[in-house]
Copies of this chain bind each other. A is one copy, B any other.
Amino acid sequence: MSFTKSPELEMILRTMREFVYTEIVPLERPFLNHDYDTLMPLIAEKRQKAKDLGLWLPQIPADEGGMGLSLVEHGYVSELLGQTLLGHIIFNCQAPDAGNMEILIEYGTLAQKQQFLQPLLAGEIRSCFSMTEPENPGSNPTWMSTTAVLDGGDYVINGHKWFTTAADGAAFAIVMAVTDTAASKHKQASMIIVPTATPGFQIVEKTSVMGERGYGWASHCEIHYDNCRVPRQNLLGSEGMGFVIAQQRLGPGRIHHCMRWIGICERAFDLMCRYAVLREVAPGRTLGSQQTIQNWIVESRAEINSARLMVLDAAHKIDGAGSYAARDEISIIKFYVAGVLQKVLDRAIQTHGAMGMTDELPLAYWYRHERAARIYDGPDEVHKRSVARRILQRYA
């Protein structure tokens, strides 16, 4: 692998791997069985341990209390954490908190940082990001109905959101709302921090997604904002910056997702290989002796390798030249890696037969919930279109 790892990174990864496979993977069972009473104290315990090991907040700069990794380095870390259903939550780098931390660091006032960022970094609270609306296509971030109107020193927010991930139990939401309908398309919306205890912030329900309503950070809420009033000081950045901040949030966010997906792929690949050498289709003849299974294994290996190289390459470019310079690469890995993920999971399930359908393994969970990988943060089609148009513009 040509994106070489420093000895320090190698050591971090070794420690993490040990931690992940020894202590976190066993927590998958209560999670998959919706046994949150068992699960939540264990998560709290492992989070403390992650802190103690100095592995807390891998994606955050050192001066904010994180590990201070480059994006390429975090790529390796995130891939490792992605190998278990609970990796990111335990190291406090899960979506949507990770993205919220980033924009609070970048745009937050001192007061906002003290009130919202500090406890988030400490893992004392969780947050959510409230952007997608059921009535408007998420693929078109400039088309939004939620409004925030200044009234005295307050914003009064009205609107209807859904797929606000992790709202259940969150301390605050960062809400995207239109503050100026007269402005140009990309300057109409702003980001506003809304504590969930604010009157008018109303969770309609945890949406049933792929048969499950989930729990806490692993759920998606439908929310009504009903004359929800917050002080003007809760504006993030300045008015009209909603779109810009959203884009900035999404750039590295997509990289984080891609890295995590590669971790999922590696775990699925590992499970597939283990099962292939173990399971007999006839006495003495293993699944792995079947050429069809061999094809799935090697094709998965090829695709995962290609996906990782592309993600690291994009991370490398972002580290060097920023998200904007790498926007084609980011869009390409967004749909490409999501596609690899779906294929690899599908093969891993088929290899496991009936077992692959069950919740004995995390495969079925990823199969159903990561189907959304091709949808959230811009569906495949939107990313493809953007890149293709930019390419063709160079030829026009």
> A residues within 8 Å of B by Cβ?
1-3, 32-33, 132, 134, 137-140, 143, 162-163, 207-212, 273-274, 276-277, 279-283, 288, 290-295, 297-299, 301-302, 305-307, 309-310, 312-313, 316-317, 328-329, 332, 335-336, 349-350, 353-359, 364-365, 367-368, 371-372, 374-376, 379-381, 383-385, 387-389, 391-392, 394-396
In the assembled complex, the Cα of A301 lies from the Cα of B353 at a distance in Å of 25
Q: Give min CB distance, A368 to chain B, whole Å.
A: 4
Give the shortest distance, in Å, between A145 (CB) and chain B (any CB): 12
Using CB atoms, name the residue of chain B closest to A339: B302
Question: How far is the CB of A325 from the nearest CB of chain B, in Å?
Answer: 12
Q: Which of B208, B312, B356 contacts A32 (CB 8 A)?
A: B208
Q: How many copies does the complex hold?
A: 4
Instruction: Give chain B residues whose Cβ lies under 8 Å from the Cβ of A208.
Output: 32-33, 358-359
Q: How far is the CA of A282 from the CA of B140 in the complex (A)?
A: 7
Give 6 new A-B contacts, CB below 8 A, not counting A2-B313, A274-B395, A306-B307.
A32-B211, A138-B354, A288-B392, A292-B295, A298-B387, A357-B375
**What's the nearest-Cβ distance from chain B to residue A188, in Å?**
14
Whether A375 contacts B391 by the Cβ 8 Å rule is: no
Residue numbers in B under 8 Å from A395 (CB-CB): 273-274, 276-277, 288
Contact A211 B359, CB 8 Å, known A391-B297, A392-B273: yes
Q: With A163-B354, A354-B132, A354-B375 known to touch, is A140 a contact of B281 (CB < 8 Å)?
A: yes
In-complex Cβ contact of A298 among B137, B282, B332, B355 (8 A)? B332
* Cβ–Cβ < 8 Å partners of A356 in chain B: 375
Q: Give the CA-CA distance A33 to B380 in the complex, in Å.
A: 29
5 smallest CB-CB distances across A and B, nearest first, come from A294-B388, A291-B291, A306-B306, A309-B309, A208-B359
A154 to chain B, nearest CB (A): 30
